[in-house]
Structures are given as C-alpha cells and as structure tokens.
Structure 1
Amino acid sequence: MAAPLNGTYTPHPDPLDQPLKTALVRLASGISPASVAMAQVDWLTHLAVLPSKQSALAMSAWRKSFSWLQYAASCGWKPDASHCIDPPPDDKRFSHAAWQLPPYNALAQGFLLAQQWWGEATTDVRGVSRHHEELAAFIVRQWLDMLSPSNSPVLNPQVLGETVRKGGFNFVDGFANWWRDALAVAADGRPRHVEEFRPGKAVALTPGKVVHRNALVELIQYAPSTPKVGKEPVLIVPSWIMKYYILDLTPDDSLVKYLVDQGHTVFIVSWRNPGAADRELGLDDYLECGVLDAVAAVQRLCPGTQVHAAGYCLGGTLLAMGAAVLGARKDHALRTVTLIAGQVDFQEPGELGLFMDESQVAFLEDLMAEWGYLDGRRMAGAFQLINSKDLVWSKLLHEYLMGAHTPMTALRAWNADATRLPARMHGEYLRRLYMDNQLADGEYRFRGQPVSLRAIRVPLFVLATERDHVSPWPSVFKVLRLAHAPARFVLTSGGHNVGVVNPPSGPAAHEKASYRWADHPVDEVAADPLAWFATARQERGSWWTCWHEWLHRHDSGSVPARAVRDVRFGGKVVPAPGTHVFQE
C-alpha cells in the first residue's frame, strides 16, 4: 500500500547526514549518542560544583569500605556472617549457594555495596534534570551489570565448578553457542529452532477464519466450542510491534482458546507487517483500520449486538482512543472496554521513557527516513538494555560461560518474530503520546476532532502486571482517573508478557500466580496507586478467570453459537492464523 491514508510524513533529513547517522545507529543499537552525552555532562558538571554531595559520597564510600572489610575478615572463619547488604528482590545473580561461600560471598557483597554507592552518586544531584538523572543512573547500571563478578569466568563459582566438572569443555560449548549467535546476527537471521514454532503448525492453532480484511489488518473469527455463547462478542486488538499470536500460543497457554471454551465469540486483529512503501501510514490510520473499522466489521458479522473490546499493550492505547472517539460520537457499539497492560498517560512511562527526548526521537526519525520504517529488532535492543540482567548477562552466563543450551519455547519464538513500524506512525506515537502526552492532556486529535478519554463511559476492565518494564502498573492505573466509567483494576504477578500469558490450569499454569483487584464506581478511585495496592483484594491463580467472570457479568444474555462464515479473499477462504502473520 504505497499511497498514504492520511496526509504526508514531514521529517526529511539531509542526505548528507544519513551515512553517519546510519553508522551510529548500528554501533549504538539505536540509542542517540548525543542524548547519552548530554545526560552524562549534566550529571557530572552539577556534581562537580556540589562539595556537600561529594563529601556525603566520600563518607558513604568510607562507611561501605569499612563495613565490607569487617565482613571480609569475618566470613573466612564464619561463613554465615551477617551480610552488609541484601540484593534487590529481582536480582538473582548471587542466589546460588556457591556465592555464600568465601571468598565469593565477599566479592558479591563488595559488588552490591559498590552498586548501591553508584546509585547514590547518580541521584539527588541538585540541578540535574529528572530525565538526565534517570538516564545517567541507567547508563551507570549498564556498566555495573557488565562488570559484575557473575559475568567473569574466573570470579563466578558456578562457572568454575562447571569448568572442573566438564574439564573445560563448557568453554568449547560456549564458544560454539557464541559463534552460532554471531553468524545469525551477521546474516540478519533468526535464532535457531524458531522454525519449529511456525504459526498454524505449533502455535496459533485455535480454529477460525479470516472474515474481514482492510488496508492494515485481517480480522480473524474463531470457531465456537460451546453450544451457546455470550450475546456480545469479544474483539481483541493486540499490539502491532509483535505478531498477534502471543494471545494464541499453544493450546495450553492460549488466551483465545480459553475465551472460546468459556463460551465467548472471539475476534482478533492481525496487523499487516508494513514495508518501506508504507512510510506515510500514520497513527490515525492505525486507529481507523485497527479499531474503528474492526468494531464495525464485528457488528456486521454479529448484527444487533454490542462488542466487548479488549486491547493489549499498544493495542490497549489505541483501543482507548477508539473508545473515546466512539463515545464522543454517541456511538454505542461497545459494551465494555478491557485494557491489558496499555498506557494512556505517558507522563511516567517507566524505563522506556529513558529513550524519549528530542535528541533520541530525532535520531530515530532520521533512521526511519532512510528505510521508511523502524525494524522491530532495533526496538528489541532497547528492551534488552532495560532488562539487561535477565536478557543479556544471564544469557552470557548460561550459554557462553556454562556452555548450556536454552531450549526454544513458543514464547521465545514469538519474541523473535518482530515486525516493522511505519516511519510516520512511529514518529507520531513518540511525539504526540510519549513526549507531549496529548492523549492524557485532552489535546490529541483524530481526523481533526479532539479525543477526550472522559468520553469513555462504558465499564472498564484494566489489567497491569507487577514487574512490567514496558507499561509500569502505576502508569496504567492512571486511566481510572481519566475515563468517566465504572472500572475494575487488576494487578497480576509477572511481567509484560509472562504475566498476561497466564493460564489458570494445565502444564503452562504458573503455580505462584496471583492477582489483586478492586472495583471502582465512576470517578471514585484512590489517588495514589500504592494506597490502592494496600487495600486491594488478593487472589491466588490466573487473572483470566477474573476477566471471564467480569465479561460474563456484563453480557446481556446468551445466544446459540455463531458459525464462522466463509468469506472469500481472492476467491479463497483463508483459515486462521491468516496471511499477515507470515509476512517477514
């Protein structure tokens, strides 16, 4: 689709700048060097003129050194000596029993104390802007994570033990693993064994058919598995950063299959993977094709009924915009709205906000101007930096130093199935939502008309996850104060993906899964998310059951199961998972 649906994309950097920008992008994984340098200079210059902060840091360093020396002196003859410092709850690098023995316990304690000191050094420096302070602290954490003794083959007792056990062949296996990955990166290839999880063969197996198609999406309807279904169908709008089938992985962990088996008629949007010719597609085009047209199509296929609409991640953001547009039009197409880990207020976007300033966005716009899109693998690099302990350095330890093989799973294969983002859409998303926060401030316009979240007046189900690096739950929580609707807010254990893909039973169920929830009347919600957390009701198990019960309560009755119609495209009926999901 070469022709734009909505206007013209504006940024056109000088061609003279492109070779240097492209080289920098490849070298810096899409991170603007200017943005990083400005943050470092802001922090260092202000720290240099604060003798009080310097003296406090010197005193802290002396106390930590003395404490560590005492610990190091005692742990040699008393291995169970009290620690100087405990690691953060999410830091598992030193949890192995071997790290509790001397001298490795002293190494771990020294590193954790140094990490704490650097945290003090990069925060509360008067005069440093908040964004630069967060970015400077993040950069220091990246260096510390790289220099951790857990990453050293001669300082990590787990690696040393494995070396003795295998006679050094763990390094041979580790080099083979590294060489395999290096070749894949050099060839711009995909990880090994992802081909075993091809959609329609091993994942995305729930039976259904494509029943509608427009310029950007295919709409899939799933075959019923119960004799009766809820009157209102469920329409799911996933994020367009990755393929839709994270919500329909294997039969054991498919949210789509679960909903179908509970008696819901389920539709899902499958986004087309755009290319260079689609550079002019904008955010309004995604809203028009991915939400408004999809809702209209579902109503045509299920006449005389409203729709339970659900959006995941960016799809949730887009759905909130669509619900506001429909609310302003007095269009009663929606019965309820569910936002799954989807932000609408980007004032506190979490660590992704570290990469959102004018320098960084301009850097990305220049990159996208050359190719017409942002490759999803560039964005994956930013996600890996945010959670580098788990996504980068744990892999170095497990595969390159220990010589182990991490088995490919359905979720890991899906994570490697990246998509592209059109230049105009992504630039508008970053500027209008992340940087200017237009949606929360009521300044966003769709086709020239203002979009106000106060126009959302249908019941809301809002899900957030406790350890979400993409959509922090206190940020997701803010929609309750922006919309004018009764709401149920649910906070589930886990992260952005694992917390969502959380079946209530079967081999894929998480034994320790739990969630907190509370219902809120219109405009009655705790001002502080932490106050909500302290009073919310806690349950064991999966949030899926909570959502199904909520949807069922908002159904207006049941009807005989709806057969999926045969809709032909190019003379053929297209079975699920459709065709867009196979686009490279």
Structure 2
Amino acid sequence: MATDTLNKNLIPSYDVEKEMKRWNKFLNIINEPEPNVDNTPRHAVWKKNKATLWYYPAVEKKYDVPLFFVYSLFNRSYILDLAPGSSVIEELVNSGYDVYLLDWGVPGYEDKEISMDDYIIDYIQKGVQRTLRHSGASEVSIVGYCLGGTLASIYAAVAEEPIKNLIVATVPIDFSTSPLPDKWAKGLKNGEFNIDRFIDVYGLIPGPYVEGMFRSMSPVYYSPYVTLLNRAYDKRFVDKWRRMNKWTKDHVPFTGKAFRQLNNDLFKENKLVKGELTIRGKKVDLGKVEANLLVISSSNDHLVPEEQSLPLMDLVSSEDKTYQLVEAGHVSLALTGKFAGLVDKWISERSGEKIK
C-alpha cells in the first residue's frame, strides 16, 4: 500500500484526450496563414528599386519636424508596426508626429552590387530629401534601429540636409567588441573564414543564411515553440506569438557588396570609429554630427552589447546628447512600448513649435 501511494504522488496523471487537444491546437496554429502586419494607415510617397518610402500621417499633428526611420538591412522593418498596441509607429503617430519609414524591401540576385555607399547616398539621402519636400518641413529627425542606426549615423556624418535630431537604438558603432563567439569573431577578423569567397560564389547572403547566423547567436530562438505549446489556448498570446514568429523567420538577403563592406570595413577594421571610412570618396567623420543626439541601449541585448553603442556619445560634436540604458531585449525594446515612449518624451521638446 505504501508503495502504491508513493508512486501516485511521484508520477503525475496523464490525460491523453487533453494532451491530444493541446497538440492539435499547437499544430493548427503553426499551419495557419501568416498574420497581417503593417497595420497603421500609410501610403507610399517614393520608390526606388525594391525600396519604398512610407508616410504615416499623424492622427492629430502636433509637431512640425517629421521622423524618418531607418531599419536594419538584415530584417523586415514591419517589426516597428507589428500589431495594434505593439507598434512603435502607431504610438508615435498617435502622439502627433508625422512618420516616414524607409522600407528596404527584399533584394534579389540582381541587386548584388548595391553597396553601403549606394544605400546611404541613393536611398537614405534621397529618401530624406523626398521627406523634406513632401512634409514641407525645414528640418528632419532621423531614427535608426540596430544596423539602421549605424547607417543613419554614417549618413548624418556626410549629410547636407538639415538634421535636427538623431536617435539611434541598439546600434553597433564600435566593432572592437562583438556578440559573436570568440572563435567565430577571431576567425572572421584574421581571415580564417573568408567571407569574400562566399560572396563571390553566392553574390549575396541568402535569407536562410542570415536567419541561421542569428539563430546560432541566440539559441533561445527555438524556445518560443515550447512556450506556444504551453499557452496554445491563450488567444491574446497566440496572436502576438504568430506575428513575432513570422518576423523572426522573415530575414532578407543581404547584398554581397554591402556585406563585404560591412565585414571588411566595419567588423574587421573598425573604420567608422577610427575615422577611416569613406562613402563615395567622402570621409565619414562622426565629429561632424551636431544634431541633438539620443542613444538607447538595452541591458539584455544579446546581439548589440552596450559597449558597441556607447562610444558614439564621445565621437559626435552634439552639444545636446542623451544616453539611455533600458531594461529590455534587442526586440522587446520596440514591442513593449519602451522605445516609442522614450522617443516621444525626449523628442517632443526638440521637434519645433507645437502646432495648435
């Protein structure tokens, strides 16, 4: 009798019917059509090749300086407008800002020769010029997230357009430190892994390779499936999970020429910090950046550590500059509303006269 009682206490009961329902629900969710994203009202105001400049009008315009968003080349920009209630753009247009987003689109093999120079001059600079014309504003605020912040910072250093504010979040600037495993980083920097040969063969970095790179850096990428299995009956959670899962699997190809520059000029030689980077023959001197500056880092960011972002504070000439370290992850910074809240609080006093 004592043995039977002990076994009952140690071995949990197993409800086969309940478990079958749970697994069926889990499998149905995974096989459902992809959810809708990009929910905030918008329309295109400019296109170039695969890229689109989207305009999101303020619900009730309060500020005369528009926000121009630059996102990473590795991922789709809809993470900034993932779902109602979890959208950076939605929160900012509701707060009275006109928002413009440069959506890079999905490059193909035919785009393999697009360089960082092209992205900065022919896309970002032209997009900012179009934003100024479309908005009628005399100045613009540039907002860069992740690698988009790196590109935005480079652009700000060579820009001829009037930039009032520069905001960058989770931005890699100083590549002397790396989130990569030590052996990987060492192999890339000393040439043991020759990225040039890979690019010569493929022309660009295929999307699945980009996804594999990020998965290898963040093993927890697979854990959401375990969480989904346990919370498959939570409709609100499932909706958020499906949108986030779509984004994490939606990495885009990276053009070969731009990736070669990123690897050789930034990662290996750290030219941006050293002041040795050139764009279309023009030296990129971050000391020429005089716009009001806000740098945001996430304390739980496993992709862009704080050490990569913080040096920007000393490299620019801005008199008005603020650094914020937030308790968040690389992506949760945007999805939890913390990023939009920080941007609004900081930039509301730096966006010109309030429109009455």
Q: What interval of TM-score do these two structures reach, taking the shorter chain for normalisation?
A: 0.7 to 0.9
Which digits, 9 at most, give the CA deviation of each residue in 1:412-471, with x for residues without a partner?
211112211111111111111111100000000011111011111111011111111111
Residues 194 and 284 of structure 1, relative CA distance in 2, 3 Å threshold: farther
Aligned-partner Cα distance in 1 for 2:119–2:32 = 29
Residues 368 and 174 of structure 1, relative CA distance in 2, 3 Å threshold: farther
Structure 1 residue 289: deviation in Å?
2.8
Secondary structure of the residue aligned to 1:213 is strand
Structure 1 residue 349: deviation in Å?
2.3
Select which of 410, 416, 421 maps to 2:243. 410
Structure 1 residue 276: deviation in Å?
1.1
In the other structure, the counterpart of 1:379 is 210
Return the structure number with greater relative CO, CA threshold 8 A, min gap 6: 2
For the pair shown, which has the larger CA radius of gyration, 1 or 2?
A: 1
Aligned-partner Cα distance in 1 for 2:68–2:81 = 14
Maintained 8 Å contact 1:465/1:492: yes
Does residue 306 of structure 2 align to residue 469 of structure 1? Answer: no
Maintained 8 Å contact 1:361/1:430: no
Aligned-partner Cα distance in 2 for 1:230–1:544 = 15
Maintained 8 Å contact 1:323/1:456: yes
Structure 1 residue 377: deviation in Å?
2.1
Select which of 282, 286, 290 maps to 1:457. 290
Structure 1 residue 403: deviation in Å?
12
In the other structure, the counterpart of 2:3 is none
Give, as a single letter, the amino acid of the residue that structure 2 aligns with 1:308: S
Q: Which runs of 5+ in 1 are unaligned?
A: 1-159, 181-190, 504-541, 561-584
User: TM-score, normalization: structure 2?
Assistant: 0.85
Percent identical among aligned pairs is: 22
In the other structure, the counterpart of 1:207 is 41
Maintained 8 Å contact 2:297/2:309: yes
Maintained 8 Å contact 1:215/1:289: no
Does residue 120 of structure 2 align to residue 290 of structure 1? Answer: no
Does residue 258 of structure 2 align to residue 425 of structure 1? Answer: yes
Give, as a single letter, the amino acid of the residue that structure 1 aligns with 2:334: V
Secondary structure of the residue aligned to 1:218 is strand
Residues 216 and 351 of structure 1, relative CA distance in 2, 3 Å threshold: same
Select which of 29, 35, 56 maps to 1:222. 56
In the other structure, the counterpart of 2:7 is none
Select which of 17, 26, 33 maps to 1:195. 33
Does residue 348 of structure 2 align to residue 555 of structure 1? Answer: no
Give, as a single letter, the amino acid of the residue that structure 2 aligns with 1:384: R
Give, as a single letter, the amino acid of the residue that structure 1 aligns with 2:345: E
In the other structure, the counterpart of 1:545 is 341
Maintained 8 Å contact 2:210/2:253: no
Maintained 8 Å contact 2:64/2:137: no
Aligned-partner Cα distance in 1 for 2:199–2:18 = 44
Q: How many residues align?
A: 337
Select which of 145, 148, 165 maps to 2:14. 165
Structure 1 residue 216: deviation in Å?
4.8
Aligned-partner Cα distance in 1 for 2:345–2:355 = 17
Q: Which runs of 5+ in 2 are unaligned?
A: 1-9
Does residue 268 of structure 2 align to residue 435 of structure 1? Answer: yes
Which digits, 9 at most, give the CA deviation of each residue in 1:120-175, with x for residues without a partner?
xxxxxxxxxxxxxxxxxxxxxxxxxxxxxxxxxxxxxxxx967x524699699989
Give, as a single letter, the amino acid of the residue that structure 2 aligns with 1:372: G
Which digits, 9 at most, give the CA deviation of each residue in 1:95-122, with x for residues without a partner?
xxxxxxxxxxxxxxxxxxxxxxxxxxxx
Alignment of 1:79-478 (within 5 A): 165-166=14-15, 192-193=30-31, 195-197=33-35, 202-226=36-60, 228-326=61-159, 331-351=160-180, 355-356=184-185, 357=188, 358-359=190-191, 361-362=193-194, 364-388=195-219, 390-392=220-222, 394=223, 407=238, 408-478=241-311
Give, as a single letter, the amino acid of the residue that structure 2 aligns with 1:295: V
Structure 1 residue 472: deviation in Å?
0.5
Aligned-partner Cα distance in 2 for 1:433–1:307 = 27
Secondary structure of the residue aligned to 1:557 is coil
Alignment of 1:484-495 (within 5 A): 484-485=317-318, 486-495=320-329
Give, as a single letter, the amino acid of the residue that structure 2 aligns with 1:165: Y
Aligned-partner Cα distance in 1 for 2:147–2:225 = 31
User: TM-score, normalization: structure 1?
Assistant: 0.53
Structure 1 residue 555: deviation in Å?
1.7
Aligned-partner Cα distance in 2 for 1:366–1:316 = 28
Give, as a single letter, the amino acid of the residue that structure 2 aligns with 1:491: L
Aligned-partner Cα distance in 2 for 1:211–1:374 = 29
